[in-house]
Structure 1
């Protein structure tokens, strides 16, 4: 079988001038070029991400964080709902109890008769009781000082009235929900200035009274371990300023290091004797406040409200929630302070006295001994902690049991006892801590 000769290309198609590509060659090159471009583009499609591809990992991480935050918010809302439901039930029970007491003592009929006969002008015993319960009497010397004009007169008379023009504000060192704190200079002295937000006075009917009470409380203090008032600018809303000695550190920073709450320590734990010394100084400052006439209860005692000077001695500070109490008087304001350090009777909105500060001190003393934040061993948020404490179910984990600190552990447990009557006074706490501290210092 003979092979067929290849077909010849027509002469006309194969003819070209010397050195120039012929027409067939040009057509072939164009076809090859278009195929190359298509393949290149197809290769790009295979390797380069398109709009329909999955989002970058960074975006996924951001979304996961947002979802996690939303889960935390939902959990917090559920805890708050449970807590407020229980508080409402307790309030209803308390009102039923009050109604029963009124009925048993004959007050209820007087109240009903008073309502049915509005023209009756003579005050009944029941109306006097109702008025006394809704408007508790304040000691006379406190009553006049809560008036801003009287406070200004007192400040000028005693030399601690400060004109705002005398203050040179420097850098902001802290900020809270109602005020900013600045490092400042006053008459050549380095001071701290707590500048209350103007909106606090504009939006709060009792803002001026709260401000005047804090300044009045500070103006009475003369103790080594209580923050000293240098003066005040008494011109709210723009110049409601409290001027105190300047402190660089809080007990929280000293014990845990700067920054937010963490499970892991970021600084070495201070020596045991130093931590015990801080507890003793806090107790001495609180004993002074509780033995003041009239008594001063702090109501928001916590490490971030305890400052330290350059020699690392403490100053009990922030009297924004403080209150004067006369003998045998009870306070009834509810949820005053910070949940983690708050006494159960305050959480439950029950009447309370100075023993609520003792409870807070017990939490702080345990924190000083363990070096851990309260309830850090749980995953509870502040609302869940408050709910559990109010029901008497939890307390922070105690220190590792050691023979040489048994008396300290007992003091902690007494201080945060569910029943305020069993909690010791700060006088008793101070004496006990002094003996324990001396024992450790003099130990061989």
Structure 2
């Protein structure tokens, strides 16, 4: 086979170079590089799908796809879709991330998705705690993910990508903590349950911090409940190992309403940003309500940072519990307690005398709405 410089057959390049086949010269401006790149990408994709999954070394967290059965979708978000499924005879939730092969997502956005996936798996697969959702395994960039067509079209979603990655975790039937609180927004929760949920969450976060992991998106939507209303932390998409130098951890990462002032300002921060978010969650668990429902992003950010705005604590809230909220959401991160100290403070709260939130449409049986109580 006759090849010219660059390894290209001269028989394939008619009209590209000079008229002499002996001294063939190729002009780069005449070669359709875009088309060649597309063909190369297509070829590599096929090779990657065919060989990579079979021949590359398995990661310790990789699942056996033959044991995974995906049933139906039950949650959708910007990250992708969460499905109900069975893995090795166990009920599981399968979070499928889109690799960005929809023709719309940019290369940069695709890179972010892939990095987020790797980061989540790297963090989650090493965790083992009763208040952290159990990680079962993951599959990176597989083309063998069998998703029922009818489930992928639920809520108008597009078909899953040809190369999808997924995270498989234990399935918790109680839904998210946010959903649970919303269901109880009128009757509120018994104070004993309030403190128990707070303890579950504080113990989970304390465990993460002991492993030098900052969750960075502590909120009720990222907490799941089992059938006994035991809470487990979920979603480690933005979690990361804490940097030794706080200046290495900057940027507005998290969810508005839960983000600490230093995070909102783009200042260096550490694990105590989780403590602030936990304080907001405490208020939400006690009140079964949303903090700052009527403020815009700009107004809320400015008020939290410059005016020290925090949710209003109801007068009927026991002082022991209210004080923990205030300590956790202190504007100065250095004054916030460590989560292990928060656990001890919550364990000391007396739940025998009630103290749960009184619904606004109920006639109060105490004088908490008529006479201010001390802090």
Cα distance change on mapping 1:253 and 1:206 into 2, 3 Å: closer
TM-score by length of 2: 0.69
Instruction: Identify the residue that residue 176 of structure 2 maps to in structure 1.
Output: 250
Q: Normalising by the residue count of structure 1, what TM-score does the alignment of the two structures yield?
A: 0.58
Shift of 1:331: 4.2
- Matched residue SS, 1:427: helix
Do 2:99 and 2:113's aligned partners in 1 also have CA atoms closer than 8 Å? no
Partner of 2:59: 155
Q: 1:351 aligns with which of 252, 268, 286?
A: 268
Deviations 1:178-213 (A, max 9, x none): 121000111222100000012179533233222111
- Say if 1:179 and 1:194, in contact at 8 Å, map to a contact too: yes
Of 72, 75, 79, which aligns to 1:178?
79
- How many residues align? The count is 276
Shift of 1:333: 3.3
The 3-state SS of whatever aligns with 1:182 is strand
The match for 1:113 is: none
2:341 is aligned with 1:428: yes
Aligned to 1:364: 281
Match of 1:217 in 2: 123
Kindly provide the CA deviation profile for residues 356-395 of structure 1, in whole angstroms up to 9, marking residues without a partner as x. Answer: 000000001011122221124xx21234212321223411
Q: Which residues in structure 2 correspond to 1:404-415 (within 5 Å)?
A: 405-415=318-328
Q: Is structure 2 residue 192 aligned with structure 1 residue 289?
A: no
1:226 maps onto 2:109 in alignment: no
Aligned partners of 1:223 and 1:392: how far apart in 2?
38
Query: Where in structure 2 are the equivalents of 1:91-240 lying within 5 Å?
Result: 153=57, 155-156=59-60, 160-199=61-100, 202=107, 203-235=109-141, 238-240=163-165
Would you say 1:324 and 2:250 are equivalent positions? no
Bigger relative contact order (CA 8 A; separation at least 6): 2
1:214: how far off?
0.2
Runs of 4+ in 1 over 6 A off after TM superposition: none
Alignment of 1:11-160 (within 5 A): 153=57, 155-156=59-60, 160=61
Q: 1 CA distance for matches of 2:179 and 2:239?
A: 23
SS in structure 2 of the partner of residue 225 of structure 1: coil
CA contact (8 A) 1:184 1:193 kept: yes
Residues in 1 aligned to 2:125 and 2:324: alpha-carbon distance in whole angstroms: 32
Equivalent residues of 2:67, 2:87 under 8 A apart? yes
Residue 278 in structure 1 maps to residue 197 in structure 2: yes
Choose between structure 1 and 2: higher helix proportion.
1
Q: Matches of 2:281 and 2:227 in 1, distance apart?
A: 21
C-alpha displacement of 1:330:
4.5
Q: Which runs of 5+ in 1 are unaligned?
A: 1-147, 258-264
Structure 2: stretches of 5+ with no match in the other structure: 1-51, 143-160, 355-375
Larger Rg: 1
SS of 2:96's equivalent in the other structure is strand
Distance in 2, Cα, partners of 1:309 & 1:433: 21
The whole-number CA distance in structure 2 between the counterparts of 1:196 and 1:344 is 31
Distance 1:201 1:244, change over 3 A: farther
Structure 2: distance between partners of 1:385 and 1:153: 48
Deviation, 1:153, is: 5.0
Q: 1:185 to 1:390 in 2, by over 3 A?
A: same
Return closer, same or farther for 1:366/1:331 CA change in 2, 3 Å cut-off. Answer: farther
Aligned to 1:385: 300
